[in-house]
Amino acid sequence: MKPLILSVTLAAAAALGVMAPLPAAAGGNALVLQISPSSRGEARVMRHALSWLAAGNNARVSQQGNNNGAAISQRGRGSTAIIAQQGDGHTGSIAQHGNNHAHGLFQFGEATGHHVTQQGGGRTGMTVVIGF
pLDDT per residue of the chain (132 residues) written in tens, 0 to 9 = 344 444 445 544 444 444 444 444 445 689 999 999 999 999 999 999 999 988 878 999 999 999 999 999 999 999 999 999 999 999 999 999 999 999 999 999 999 999 999 999 999 999 999 999
State residue 27's pLDDT score.
53
DSSP helix/strand/coil, 118: strand
Under a CB-based contact definition with an 8 Å cutoff, are residues 37 and 43 in contact? yes
* Termini Cα distance of the chain: 19
Number of domains in the chain: 1
CB atoms within 10 A of CB 83: 27
State residue 28's pLDDT score.
67
Q: In 1-132, which ranges are continuous DSSP H helix?
A: 2-16, 40-53
Range of the structural domain that residue 33 is part of: 2-131
Under a CB-based contact definition with an 8 Å cutoff, are residues 89 and 111 in contact? yes
State residue 55's pLDDT score.
84
Nearest to 83 by CA among 95, 74, 70, 73: 70
DSSP helix/strand/coil, 8: helix
